[in-house]
Amino acid sequence: MNSVAASPSPPHPTPAVDPLLQPRRLLLSTILSFVALLGIVGAVGYWLRAPLVAVSEGFIATLGGPGITLGYFLPDAFSLPFPNDTFGVFGLAGGMGFWEVVAWGTFGSILGGCMGWWIGRVLRRTRWVAAFMDGRGHRLELLVRRQGPIVVFVAAVTPLPYSIAAWAAGGVGMPLHTFVLVSLARVIRVAGALYLIQLGLLTTG
């Protein structure tokens, strides 16, 4: 009796890179976001420089570095719809040194990320967090579950939402020390944005 040779099983297809993590898309979105930031700051600096400086100096005189930390903390902790770079503008236009603003801003951003991690870790099953992560945050949470810290790193340095990545990291059980270590890359995003802010303010002075 002739034996029938078993047909070889088809090779497993290599999983495609999720569009959110495609290098070309990330690079393009990062460049466009920085160009937009430079244009907005340049326009504000040109048309509203005097009131901007007055408000910024008042902000720094009243709240100082902790105010900048708070401004970076809130959006990155609670995914609020306002840019934390606004507080970088206040710092630079208010007379604070570049690296001082970077330090306060990076500290606030990572602290906010840790709060987001805690929200995802502790409150993932509550109604409002579950609704958010099963909706807007669903895709990013799947990516963090599948690919781990690399997704948090990408979110820390590109326009991919860092706050949602933080919630997702907590929700999937990423260790806090791993999350914090990867989140140190946030300084790249903060410093890069502040450099463009400073450039925009200087060129319109």
List of residues 6+ apart from 94 with CB closer than 8 A: 53, 56, 57, 58, 59, 60, 61
pLDDT of residue 13: 47
Residue 92 lies in a domain: yes
How much is the pTM?
0.88
Residue 90 lies in a domain: yes
For the chain, which residues score pLDDT lower than 50?
Answer: 1, 3-5, 7, 12-14
pLDDT digits (tens, 9 = 90+) for 74-126: 999 999 988 999 999 999 999 999 999 999 999 999 999 999 999 999 999 99
In b/e form, how buried is each residue of 43-73, taking b as 16+ CB within 10 angstroms?
ebbeeeeeebbeebeebbeebebebbbbbbb
pLDDT of residue 19: 82
Residue 37 lies in a domain: yes
Residue 68 lies in a domain: yes
Residue 10 lies in a domain: no
**168 — phi, psi (to 5°)?**
-65, -40
Structural domain count of the chain: 1
Residue 56 lies in a domain: yes
pLDDT of residue 203: 72
Domain hosting 81: range is 23-203
